[in-house]
Amino acid sequence: MTEPRPAFTSFRDRLLKRQRLFGTFLKLPTTQVIEMLGPIGYDFIIIDQEHAPLDRAMTDLMILAARASNIAPLVRIPEFTDANILSALDCGAMGIMVPHVTSVERAKAIVRASRYAGGTRGFAGLTRASNWGKVGATGHMAQQDSQVAVVAMIEDQHAIDKAGDIARVEGIDAIFVGRGDLTASFGVDPEAATKVAEISGRVAAMARDADTPLMMLPTSKADFGFVSDLGATAMVLASDHGFIRSAAGAALKDYTS
């Protein structure tokens, strides 16, 4: 008999314990994909406001679908502002992913915006995050501070040397190495892949020294081995766009070859 998947509310605890977790980016403005991914066994999804046309209303519905499907909803906000973080968390996100974290000061500001105790997160008592007031104000604040995960993306060359200090900021729960942006930053350099692999190793080592979990996006089975060896335990597998393109291409090839 298959063991039931842990509750979506345990995502941060499982992340900090370095349990193997699998998720994916979601860019399509729909709930149906999430309803499919939950029963399949994915642990988390990342609602991608940075690179997809997902407004607050659609994000709210996608978070609802994820919670109903027992899959932890994270939101990659388009940019760091207190309002962007508050919006995602009040809707019930169990974590936020922030792009282009390039300094300790920025990392500390992100944590402050995400926390009640010692932070600046605005309070609202009747939200999905508070189970519509069921747990009470103090219970809600304590629960959110213990359950919401904060993931900082290292994806700029000038942030690499600061990655260790960023990872050590109290309240940064994981580091995500953004290899896509790092690769793009090298332009047409034929050695870009090699350089990004070396950078990934450096950032991973800094995260390990800071005792901060590592999240990465493997691009193949071989790459999965590479990022696993670096110490990544939270794996982001492609995206809904990628899954559709891959499956559609494979189906067409089956019938035309």
Q: For position 1, what pLDDT does the model report?
A: 46
Amino acid symbol at 220: S
| Nearest C-alpha neighbor of 44 from the set 112, 96, 106 | 96
Q: For position 251, what pLDDT does the model report?
A: 97
Helices 56-68 and 32-40, axial angle in degrees (round to 10): 30
Amino acid symbol at 47: I
Region class of 125: left (phi > 0), else alpha (psi between -120 and 50), else beta: alpha
% of the chain beyond a pLDDT of 90: 97
Catalytic residue, candidates 51, 100, 158, 241? 51
Amino acid symbol at 42: Y
Q: Which residues are CB-neighbours of 207 under 8 A, at least 6 positions away?
A: 163, 164, 167, 175, 213, 214, 231
Catalytic residue check, 51? yes
Q: For the stretch 85-98, what's the b/e string if a residue is b when 16 or more beta carbons lie within 10 angstroms of its beta carbon?
A: bbbbbbbbbbbbbb
Distance (Å) of CA 66 to CA 19, 29, 38:
20, 13, 7
For the chain, residues with pLDDT lower than 70 are 1-2
